[in-house]
Structure 1
């Protein structure tokens, strides 16, 4: 039986990255792990993840949620370095 940790490990991102994307897209973590695995398999998909994180970080800043914005920006920096 696969665990959530197995699915996250398979997708190629850290758990906090998958959970952040799950929250951004309002998806269960397991579904987000599947989506991330598909997205990061291509350059255009990884670029889409970067774009999404950037948008969500900007939205968080606009609503004054600086903690979330900074968390998403740290994840964004990691993803940009993988492009």
Structure 2
């Protein structure tokens, strides 16, 4: 059995990830494996993808690279906060609140390690 990931992009809510299993002869890394190996949480990766308008796997790679430096962590925090502000201005207050919670959780985890301006 090999896990698989199905992505669907629903309007206004980013990506939904559907995890399942199927039989396969060869083992491979799944998107879920990559997320689990990352130092970022799934919501943070989704926020990077949304902000940068890039595919989820590319956001995972970019975010994983950035999270290991103070400057990169600052950039991630700014991305998430900026995306929340954009959502608020465009009337998507529910998603803006979600992104603020993601930002707050990110700052709580990396706050002392986020570069100061």
Q: Which has the higher contact order (CA 8 A, sep 6+)?
A: 1
Q: Is the 8 A contact 1:7 1:34 kept in 2?
A: no
Once residues 35 and 80 of structure 1 are traced to their aligned partners in structure 2, the CA distance between those partners, rounded to angstroms, is 18
Once residues 34 and 46 of structure 1 are traced to their aligned partners in structure 2, the CA distance between those partners, rounded to angstroms, is 14
1:11 is aligned to 2:49: no
- The unaligned stretches of length 5 or more in structure 2 are 1-27, 112-117
Structure with higher Rg: it is: 2
The partner residue of 1:80 within 104, 107, 112 is: 107
1:37 is aligned to 2:37: no
Structure with bigger helix share is: 1
- The unaligned stretches of length 5 or more in structure 1 are none
Q: Is the 8 A contact 1:10 1:37 kept in 2?
A: no
Q: Is the 8 A contact 1:21 1:53 kept in 2?
A: yes
Superposed CA RMSD in Å reads 1.1
Count matched residues. 83
Structure with bigger strand share is: 2
Deviations 1:40-77 (A, max 9, x none): 01111001100111111111111111011011101100
Once residues 16 and 73 of structure 1 are traced to their aligned partners in structure 2, the CA distance between those partners, rounded to angstroms, is 11
Once residues 81 and 64 of structure 2 are traced to their aligned partners in structure 1, the CA distance between those partners, rounded to angstroms, is 19
Q: TM-score, length-normalised on structure 1?
A: 0.91
